[in-house]
Amino acid sequence: MLRLYSVHAPKPHHPLPAASPPKLTPKPDPRTDDVTAVAVDQLTDASKLAEAGDVFGAREILARLNYQLPAAPTAGSPLLRSVFYFKEALHVALSTAGNTSQSQAPVAVASTPLDVILKFGAYKAFSEVSPLLHFAHFTCVQAVIDELGGAACIHVLDFDIGVGEQWASLMHELARRHNGVALKVTAMVSSTASHHPLELHLINDNLSNFAAELGVPFRFAVFNLEATDLTGLLAVTGGDAIAVHLPVGSVHAPAVPSVLHLVRQLGAKLVVSVDRGCECDHGELPFAAHLLQALQSSVALLESLDAMGTDSDVAAKIERFLVQPKIEECVRAAAAGEKTLPWRATLTSAGFVPVQVSSFAEAQAESLLKKVPVRGFRLERRAGSLFLHWQRGELVSVSAWRC
């Protein structure tokens, strides 16, 4: 059995105020070599032509860019590797621009049983070398505990189940502080989301076995979002205290209003939202500007992995199965013209009220970062949300909302 979960939360201490970061600009670092600077310029030019509708011109530039970059990003700076991934993603987006069904489809990563195993391994490796996943998981879990810890049964509707490891921490907290509380997790999936059956089977097995070890009553289910009959979903959630895990970018922009309506219809008590990397809340930006913002986020993430001394083979696995698919989905959505209001405004307009991240969650995150062996990670509380930065770059943020 694959065991991916690290559930022992660090002991909190009194949080320290974080300084405001300097404003980022979409320009490459002047210290990078000429090849990298040229590559960034060409990617920028290609994205501007794509934004203007000149697909042929954009493809010509990408073809020239192929000669500036290695055939595979096994080496090179974080900026150069990021440019490679965005170049590849833009090429795919432009190739499918004329095919509506292809351009709307999410990227399929775990297409074979071997891919599933490699993806799970990449998640495990990422959680071991970076504090990002632990920060996001602990902060989400604390928001759920703060709001719903007194319920007899907590039911999580997860619109981005990943490999399911985020709910092991919740089980641990329930066993430690709220003995007897049951937990249900329902993965909200799309028929086009390319979840391999083995993937969902392993998630169920891992979570069920861990719950049995802790003595937490647990049930895992899968619900297809294309289903027109919600009777089954309403039946299984009736009487439960419902929390919704709805990361930015986990639902295609056109479907967001209907999903938020469903959340309200189900009587959810809490929505937790994670904004990571290329899904950054820049939906109002033009395509080229959005791409550059996402590029910066990718560079910050890869810089943090390099700073942690990540083995090159491990880093390649993380980038292949976690970083690159997010970039491909980000570019695909932007190229398809999926525009939404900024995430906070979208939730507010749908009748959701922000919940302040608790001081305990902030202290827990501070304690987590104190255990990281390198300096450069820092926290920021802004508008009630908690942000994790690597130096000047924003890596991830967590916000919570009441219906």
For residues 298 and 280, give the distance between their C-alpha atoms in angstroms, rounded to a whole number. Answer: 10
Q: Is the pLDDT of residue 224 over 70?
A: yes
Task: Please spell the DSSP secondary structure of 127-189, one letter per residue.
Answer: HHH-SHHHHHHHHHHHHHHHHHTTSSEEEEEES--TTSTHHHHHHHHHHHHSTT-EEEEEEEE
What pLDDT was estimated at residue 1?
40
Sign, CA dihedral 233-235-238-240, equals negative
Evaluate if residue 124 carries a pLDDT over 90.
yes
In sequence order, which residues have a C-beta less than 8 Å from that of residue 349 and are 6 or more positions away? 341
pLDDT exceeds cutoff 50 at 32: no
User: How far apart are alpha carbons 375 and 201 in whole angstroms?
Assistant: 38
Query: Is residue 271 over pLDDT 90?
Result: yes
Q: Output the average pLDDT for the chain.
A: 84
**Burial of 341: CB neighbours in 10 Å, binned 0-12, 13-18, 19+:** middle
Q: In which band, very low, low, confident or very high, does the pLDDT at 97 lie, cut at 50, 70 and 90?
A: low
What pLDDT does 58 receive? Answer: 95
More confident site: 73 or 344: 344
Paired strand residues for 400: 272, 355
Average of pLDDT values for 279-302? 81
The answer on pLDDT for 316 being more than 80 is yes
pLDDT number for residue 340:
67
pLDDT above 80 for 328: yes
Domains of the chain (ranges; CATH) run 153-279+349-402 (3.40.50)
The pLDDT score that the predictor gives to residue 206 is 95
Q: What is the DSSP letter of 223?
A: E
pTM (predicted TM-score): 0.85
DSSP character for 266? T
- Among positive and negative, which fits the CA dihedral 320, 321, 326, 328? positive
Does the pLDDT of residue 300 top 70, yes or no? yes
| Residue found by looking up tokens 């097995």 in the block | 205
Q: Per mean pLDDT, which range of 33-47, 138-152, 225-239, 379-393 is the poorest?
A: 225-239
Lowest mean pLDDT across 59-63, 70-74, 105-109, 145-149: 105-109
Q: For residue 25, what pLDDT is reported?
A: 39
Whether residue 194 has pLDDT greater than 70: no
Token pair listed for 275: 């904004």
Mean pLDDT of 255-265: 90
Residue 42 confidence (pLDDT): 95
Identity of the residue numbered 193: A
Considering only CA atoms, which of 167, 238, 153, 268 is closest in space to residue 208? 167
The one-letter code for the residue type at 398 is V
Q: What's the pLDDT tens digit per position in 130-179?
A: 999 999 999 999 999 999 988 999 999 999 998 998 899 999 999 998 88
Between 250 and 212, the higher pLDDT residue:
212
- Tell me the H-state helices in 96-131: 100-104, 113-129
Cα–Cα distance, 171 to 136 (Å, whole number): 16
Q: What is the pLDDT, as a whole number, of residue 15?
A: 35
Alpha-carbon distances, residue 266 vs 219, 223, 263, 273, 296 (angstroms) = 18, 14, 5, 17, 37
Helix (H, G, I), strand (E, B) or coil at 245: strand
Look at residue 6 and tell me whether its pLDDT is greater than 50. no
Residue position matching structure tokens 């703060």: 146
Contact 65, 87 (CB under 8 A): yes
Percent of the chain with pLDDT over 90: 58
Cα torsion 241, 244, 245, 249 to 10°: value is 180
pLDDT at 20 over 50: no
Look at residue 381 in the predicted model and tell me its pLDDT: 94
Residue 86 DSSP one-character state: H
Average pLDDT rounded to a whole number, residues 36-57: 93
Residue recorded with tokens 């998640």: 123
For residues 69-96, give the mean pLDDT: 88
